[in-house]
Chain A
Amino acid sequence: MRNLLLYTFLGLAVAAGAYVSFELFGPKAPLPKYAQAGIGGDFKLTSVEGEINLSDYKGEIVLIYFGFMSCPDVCPTSMGVMGTAIRQLDDAQQQKVRGLFISVDPQRDTPAELHAYTQYFSDRIFGATGTKEQIDAIVKQYGAYYSFVEMEDSALGYTVDHSARIYLIDPNGQLADILAHDINPVELHEKLAAYL
Chain B
Amino acid sequence: MAAALGSALWLQQRGESDATVVDCDLLVGPCEFTTNAGVAWLELGPRPISSASPFQVNVSYPGDAPSNIWIDLQGKEMYMGINQVTLERTDESQSKHWKAEANLGICTTGIMRWVLNLILEQKDGQEVYRFEFDAR
Q: Which residues of A pack against B, CB within 8 Å? A: 33-34, 36-37, 39, 67, 71, 74-75, 142-145, 147, 149, 151, 159, 161-165, 168, 177-184, 187-188, 191
Binary A-proximity of B84-107 (CB < 8 A = 1, otherwise 0): 000000000000000000010111
Q: Is the CB of B9 within 8 A of A178?
A: yes
Q: How far is the CA of A159 from the CA of B53 in the complex (A)?
A: 19
Q: Give the interface residue-count category, chain B.
A: 20 to 34
Sampled A-B contacts (15; CB under 8 Å):
A33-B11, A34-B9, A34-B11, A36-B11, A71-B107, A143-B82, A145-B78, A163-B106, A164-B52, A165-B81, A165-B105, A177-B7, A179-B6, A180-B2, A183-B1
Given contacts A164-B105, A177-B2, A178-B5, 7 further A-B contacts (CB under 8 A): A36-B11, A67-B107, A147-B78, A149-B109, A162-B107, A177-B6, A180-B103
B108 CB-CB contact with A under 8 Å? yes
Q: How far is the CA of A180 from the CA of B104 in the complex (A)?
A: 9
Q: How far is the CA of A38 from the CA of B85 in the complex (A)?
A: 18
Q: Is the CB of B2 within 8 A of A179?
A: yes
Residue A180 contacts which of B79, B105, B108, B110 (CB distance < 8 angstroms)?
B105
Given contacts A34-B11, A145-B79, A187-B2, whether A75 and B54 have CB atoms under 8 Å apart is no
A178 → B minimal CB distance (Å): 5
Give every chain A residue within 8 A of B9 (Cβ-Cβ).
33-34, 178
Q: Which residues of B pack against A, CB within 8 Å? A: 1-3, 5-7, 9, 11, 52-54, 75, 78-82, 103, 105-110
User: What's the dominant secondary structure at chain B's contact region?
Assistant: loop
Q: How far is the CA of A123 from the CA of B1 in the complex (A)?
A: 27
Smallest CB-CB A-B distances: 3 pairs: A143-B82, A37-B11, A177-B6
Give every chain A residue within 8 A of B106 (Cβ-Cβ).
145, 161-164
Give every chain A residue within 8 A of B109 (Cβ-Cβ).
149, 151, 159, 161
A145 → B minimal CB distance (Å): 4
A187 → B minimal CB distance (Å): 6
Q: Is the CB of B81 within 8 A of A163?
A: yes
Give every chain A residue within 8 A of B108 (Cβ-Cβ).
161
B57 → A minimal CB distance (Å): 14
B107 → A minimal CB distance (Å): 4
Q: How far is the CA of A177 from the CA of B6 in the complex (A)?
A: 5
A184 → B minimal CB distance (Å): 8
Given contacts A37-B11, A143-B81, A145-B81, whether A74 and B107 have CB atoms under 8 Å apart is yes
Q: Is the CB of B105 within 8 A of A181?
A: yes
B64 → A minimal CB distance (Å): 27
